[in-house]
Structure 1
């Protein structure tokens, strides 16, 4: 039986690079959804809802596909969401807020069979414990790496690793945006093992 084509419901270059590690052929499409949180919505609930919404938004236009959706929500201990900063000023403020804090990243993951409607979904939690950072360190980091399109204002796979005192979680890839361990489990659950691909 021919394998169903895999579609990544994302325009993120980081997620595309991560998915490519599994060695499966795939295409990408950008889902058009409203990513605003609902009133009082918890971070893990938001991450799960958005991941599933991304897959469903592309189901009609991509019949007979396996569609992968993922979304990440970062929150400070007081519940404040950390977004993609978009600018130096916002990134500087976010890193000042995170300094000395433990920031929790909730990464929702969904795999949808657009033909049958079958869906697998989970939320990976990863905690980042920040060092106490000086303003000078924060500004130097931002000038060097410019992580303005990254939730939490850092790139863990780059110089951002210098901002932390400890990382806690099952899969560091989830911090970059796509939990590959969980995704591999979902794929193998449906009979597609990346290790056994021709």
Structure 2
């Protein structure tokens, strides 16, 4: 019987690690050294896939023999990229801009397997926001302080109250790692999952 290779999540995101734990596979995490600056005119889907692939392959080069998962999420509203706000003021501005609108979250996953081409997948999630009053936005961000979340919300927490609807093939993608696709890619790489 062949030993299962080490599994590494190329991310220091606690959200992605918590999601991957749901698959009940032992894994470790590693910080990928990847420049996340978008290229001029780069479409959001291309950016998400490029960064997921870059993260997986950067860690795979440093850890030959391991299977490495890279993931990235790019969000946009009305054609404008939405990053992690980093501050209360930026979170207020993001949520005001998305009030009553739709935002698209493109979540890519890539799995680098020794001796094989890196496999990848892109999940698209559309979030329809309610019309949000300024006091409701302020109450929300003061309660959850989502400074490290693209779009300034945590859908797995109180942020769900900001929405009219979510359209997605995989509800975990919005949190940051599409587990349905990740499980499929890991099974193809030889990991045993249900």
User: Taking structure 2 as the reference length, what is the TM-score of the superposition?
Assistant: 0.97
What residue number does 2:80 align with? 80
- Give the SS at the match of 1:10: coil
User: Taking structure 1 as the reference length, what is the TM-score of the superposition?
Assistant: 0.96
What is the distance in 1 between the residues matched to 2:59 and 2:166? 34
Instruction: Within 5 Å, give how 1:1-198 maps onto structure 2.
Output: 1-76=2-77, 78-113=78-113, 115-195=114-194
What is the distance in 1 between the residues matched to 2:28 and 2:187? 19
**What RMSD over aligned residues (CA atoms) do the two structures have, in Å?**
0.8
Instruction: Write the deviation string for residues 143-192 of structure 1: whole angstroms up to 9, x where unpaired.
Output: 00100000000000000000000010011110000000001111122332
- Give the SS at the match of 2:166: strand
- Give the SS at the match of 2:60: coil
What is the distance in 2 between the residues matched to 1:125 and 1:110? 15
Instruction: Write the deviation string for residues 28-76 of structure 1: whole angstroms up to 9, x where unpaired.
Output: 0000111010000011100000000001111221110100000000001
What is the distance in 2 between the residues matched to 1:153 and 1:180? 22
CA contact (8 A) 1:184 1:193 kept: no
Instruction: Name structure 2 gaps, 5 residues minimum.
Output: none
**Count of residue pairs brought into register by the alignment:** 193
- Give the SS at the match of 2:62: coil
Measure how far apart 1:90 and its partner are.
Answer: 0.2
What is the distance in 2 between the residues matched to 1:38 and 1:7? 27
What is the distance in 2 between the residues matched to 1:86 and 1:137? 19
Instruction: Name structure 1 gaps, 5 residues minimum.
Output: none
